[in-house]
Amino acid sequence: MRFSKKLENLPEQFFSKLVQNVNRKVAEGHDVINLGQGNPDQPTPQNIVDALKNAADDAQNHKYSLFRGKAELKEAAAHFYKKEYGVDLDPEKEIAILFGTKTGLVELPMCLLNPQETMLLPDPGYPDYLSGAVLADAKYKLMPLLEENQFLPDYAQIDAATRSDAKLMYLNYPNNPTGATATKQFFEDTVSFAQKNEIAVVHDFAYGAIGFLEKPISFLETEGAKDVGIELYTLSKTYNMAGWRIGFAAGNEKMIEAINLIQDHLYVSLFPAIQDAGIEALLGSQQSVYEQNERYENRKNAFLAACEKIGWEAVVPKGSFFAWMKVPQNFTSTSFTELLLEKVNVAVADGSGFGEYGEGYVRVGLLMDEDRLVEAVERIETLNIFKTATYSR
């Protein structure tokens, strides 16, 4: 039996390959420090787990959920956005429940683009953005994210033909993989650019709760944002609920309806008990979020201090739980990644796996205790490659 051409054209699952390489080294008996992952390492807060346990005992939750999700969860999401960002949202018309935001990111091009229409994607960027384009039979153009521009796309560099063809654009701040954050001015420029060129905007706000210098801003805080786009918010990172697969989209009414319509045909809705747990996450105590940010701050500081000591240059992250590290000039991102894993059993994510402009960097996840992060740097120090290093980026 043959696969369809659509499946054959899907990009290689970058993270799957990374996991395979790590598992191979572990199977060989090595103590691998895996800094390549993006999976939160802390457990889900107990109040959320307890809410799931209680909801799972309710027989009403054992039936099919309502299409388009529980009204209470959408109301909780609207309350959360009002409290956190001062944004008013209509729970029924401006919020859609998602099976994790990855689902929304992959299905949105199928909702909003016809075959061979064009979308704009950041480079470097989350690899699964490409999956959505392929499944929609869409074309895509890449927007370079350069260090000299604080890893923000420069709309002035997008040519007239591309601006005219583009119907959809993805953004992601705090950014995976660079750790950059957006500014108020950038989001204002984005709304203006989208309005002028009739481009729908999708802002992937996966790391919205994780900021180091200041709290990350929501795209929807920007005047006119709901006229041109939506924002996707996941509970995976904020509340360590990655395995629960729950998130939501908020914003433009027509785009929300498109999501709801395609999901009417693909699913019924999330297990209602998980939705009840999501309500507790959004409306309950946020103390765990504050403690988590402090934990990531301490890890970042410890890791970057150790890197500075050995001469390994970093792009200091302003948000997310990643550090974007520079590769010495005599290496590619791939060869440097392979060296670290094979010689000192440290796994990092190859920057080129995030796109052409990820070359020259590797991504490090701050997802283990400080002593383990420092140990990883100490292992890398034994390679003696940073004492006289220059960098390609």
Query: Tell me, what's the pLDDT at 186?
Result: 98
Give percent above pLDDT 90 in the chain.
90
Residue whose C-alpha is closest to residue 204's, from 240, 171, 236:
171
| 5-44+287-381, CATH topology level | Aspartate Aminotransferase, domain 1 (3.90.1150)
Q: What angle do CA 389, 391, 393 make, to 5 degrees?
A: 170
Query: Tell me, what's the pLDDT at 212?
Result: 94
Any long-range contacts for 103-107 (C-beta under 8 Å, 24+ apart)? 103/245, 104/232, 104/247, 104/249, 104/259, 105/129, 105/132, 105/170, 105/202, 105/204, 105/232, 106/131, 106/132, 106/135, 107/132, 107/259, 107/262, 107/263, 107/266
CATH number of 63-283: 3.40.640.10
Query: Tell me, what's the pLDDT at 389?
Result: 62
Domain-wise residue ranges, the chain: 5-44+287-381, 63-283
Global pTM value: 0.96
Residue 213 confidence class, pLDDT cut points 50, 70, 90: confident
CA distances for 86 relative to 81, 218, 220, 255, angstroms: 6, 10, 9, 21
Residue 172: Cβ within 10 Å count: 25
The predicted-structure confidence for 92-106, as pLDDT tens digits, reads as follows 999 999 999 999 999
Round the average pLDDT of the chain to a whole number and report it.
95
The predicted-structure confidence for 306-333, as pLDDT tens digits, reads as follows 999 999 999 999 999 999 999 998 899 9
277 has pLDDT over 70: yes
Which segments of the chain are extended strands (E)? 33-34, 95-98, 118-123, 139-144, 166-172, 200-204, 229-234, 247-251, 314-315, 322-326, 346-347, 349-350, 361-365
Domains 5-44+287-381 and 63-283 fall in the same CATH topology = no
The predicted-structure confidence for 154-172, as pLDDT tens digits, reads as follows 999 999 999 999 999 999 9
Query: Tell me, what's the pLDDT at 109?
Result: 98
